[in-house]
């Protein structure tokens, strides 16, 4: 059992803190938001992550998980503090480090004994050294500490599983003793532990995310070529994926990546490269292709609706950036809604869990009760998120509710032949078209 503090109760901080508590450690999570901490103290997770709420309550009851807004209280007896605060995109695509700075200063003021400060937030290469500098300069009296980089690789929607079953744990530090202690903390996970220097660990995180984003943009580019040449991208991806050098994952063509990590991290890496005088041509192409996939949806809807979106009613199926999360950051649905409205369309949406978040940021979106309510009277539907509940819809019922029965499937969840059989005009990403152009 170790005493651990975690700064930041977003997706990363909460899943990290709760998982370490579940492994038998004593964990205190800190956040500057009193509202979030009050919710957590009542046993309510402020975010939707499958299994998280139950795990929080279980560990609170066992006395291993605590929440506070006070660094003084949280750091009293701890050996480790994980920094898991947000690093949003700044105006130029650079990572905005104001929350990391605040956390580092708070740690420096509150520490009363030697500490290991572990950076889990995705931060530009070199930030570990910068954090060490801030802590050193902000300490009222000099006190020993070490900075370690231990990037997270968990996906929203399966954060708990990913945390407990990682492919690897990366630990970077200038201090071999601190790195060893952080490695010990991860031993129960029985996984490969990669020890590096600070900057290399930080770069492994960016390079991993940029590579996965590249895989997605690559298959999306292939998809668009498939459409022109009459090939099927799903089968192409399957045929490629069996090659172990390529791998089957992250080859799903669609409306592109969104969420809190890929868009921000690829832009931040591009920015770091530019600032240091290199020419990140591949990263730029990845970003461009991703943007183009949002346009792909608008282009296809416009074409199927007779060349004009003005006055058309379009229903968006799924609003979260991916299934099993209520996160709408950089969600394709919201960007596409904006583009459709610019051309005069009326946009409604339905999502099983993200609608509360959507209502907060987009007051023009009409929200529906379910997929059938969304289809009722719609001129076209666009699948934006591949929620399971969309995969087995009652297609004849859906068809009967729609005038035109046009579906653009931005996540390739339906079988073109079945859709044609039920009388839909159906378009998917990188697949043969079924039916004729509508309208």
Q: Return residues touching ligand UDX (CB under 6 A).
A: 152-156, 209, 212, 216, 250-252, 254, 256-259, 261-262, 321-322
**Alpha-carbon span 192 to 339, nearest angstrom:** 45
Quote the strand ranges of 106-247, DSSP E.
115-119, 145-149, 168-173, 192-196
Nearer to ligand UDX, 87 or 209 (CB): 209
Nearer to ligand UDX, 25 or 209 (CB): 209
19 counts as catalytic: no
Least Cα distance to 50 among 238, 320, 296 occurs for 320
**Alpha-carbon span 314 to 309, nearest angstrom:** 9
**Alpha-carbon span 285 to 169, nearest angstrom:** 30
- Say which residue the tokens 């500098």 belong to: 133
Nearer to ligand UDX, 26 or 324 (CB): 324
Least distance from ligand UDX to the Cβ atom of residue 286, Å: 12
**Alpha-carbon span 34 to 396, nearest angstrom:** 49
Nearer to ligand UDX, 100 or 305 (CB): 100
Least distance from ligand UDX to the Cβ atom of residue 259, Å: 3
Helices (H), 230-363: 233-241, 262-275, 281-304, 332-342, 355-361
**Alpha-carbon span 114 to 37, nearest angstrom:** 26
Beta pairing class for 168-173 and 145-149 = antiparallel
Nearer to ligand UDX, 145 or 390 (CB): 390
| Token pair belonging to 220 | 């999306």
Cβ atoms 122, 95 nearer than 8 A: yes
Q: Which of 19, 29, 150, 261 is catalytic?
A: 261
Least distance from ligand UDX to the Cβ atom of residue 240, Å: 12
Least distance from ligand UDX to the Cβ atom of residue 304, Å: 22
Least distance from ligand UDX to the Cβ atom of residue 327, Å: 8
**Alpha-carbon span 225 to 232, nearest angstrom:** 10
Query: What is the total residue count of the chain?
Result: 439
Nearer to ligand UDX, 66 or 322 (CB): 322
Least distance from ligand UDX to the Cβ atom of residue 169, Å: 13
What amino acid positions are annotated as catalytic residues?
A: 261
């Amino acid at each position: 059992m170790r005493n651990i503090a975690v700064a930041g109760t977003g997706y990363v901080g909460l899943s990290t803190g709760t998982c370490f508590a579940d492994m038998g450690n004593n964990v205190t999570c800190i956040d500057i938001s009193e509202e979030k901490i009050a919710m957590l103290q009542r046993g309510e997770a402020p975010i939707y992550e499958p299994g998280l709420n139950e795990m929080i309550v279980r560990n609170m009851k066992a006395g291993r998980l605590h929440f506070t807004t006070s660094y003084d209280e949280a750091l009293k007896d701890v050996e480790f503090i994980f920094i898991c605060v947000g690093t949003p995109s700044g105006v130029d695509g650079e990572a905005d480090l104001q929350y990391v700075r605040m956390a580092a200063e708070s740690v420096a003021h509150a520490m009363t004994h030697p500490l290991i400060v572990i950076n889990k937030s995705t931060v530009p290469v070199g930030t570990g050294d910068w954090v060490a500098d801030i802590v050193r300069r902000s300490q009222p009296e000099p006190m020993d500490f070490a900075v370690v980089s231990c990037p997270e690789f968990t996906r929203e929607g399966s954060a708990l599983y990913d945390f407990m079953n990682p492919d690897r744990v990366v630990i970077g530090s200038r201090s071999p003793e601190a790195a060893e202690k952080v490695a010990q903390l991860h031993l129960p996970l029985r996984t490969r532990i990669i020890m590096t220097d600070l900057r290399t660990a930080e770069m492994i995180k960016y390079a991993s995310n940029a590579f996965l984003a590249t895989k997605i943009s690559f298959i999306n580019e292939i998809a668009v070529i498939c459409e022109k040449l009459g090939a099927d991208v799903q089968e192409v991806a399957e045929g490629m994926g069996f090659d172990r050098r390529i791998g089957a994952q992250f080859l799903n063509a669609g409306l592109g990546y969104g969420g809190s990590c890929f868009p921000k991290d690829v832009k931040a890496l591009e920015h770091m490269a530019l600032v240091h005088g290199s020419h990140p041509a591949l990263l730029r192409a990845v970003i461009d292709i991703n943007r183009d996939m949002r346009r792909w949806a608008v282009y296809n809807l416009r074409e199927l609706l007779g060349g004009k979106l003005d006055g058309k009613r379009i229903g968006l199926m799924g609003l979260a950036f991916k299934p099993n999360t209520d996160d709408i950051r950089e969600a394709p649905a919201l960007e596409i809604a904006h583009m459709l409205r610019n051309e005069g369309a009326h946009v409604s949406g339905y999502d099983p869990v993200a609608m509360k978040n959507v209502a907060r940021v987009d007051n023009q979106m009409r929200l529906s009760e379910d997929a059938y309510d969304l289809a009722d009277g719609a001129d076209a539907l666009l699948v934006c998120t591949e929620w399971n509940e969309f995969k087995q819809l009652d297609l004849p019922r859906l068809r009967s509710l729609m005038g035109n029965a046009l579906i653009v499937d931005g996540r390739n969840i339906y079988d073109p032949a079945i859709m044609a059989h039920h009388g839909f005009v159906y378009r998917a990403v990188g697949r043969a078209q079924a039916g004729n152009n509508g309208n």
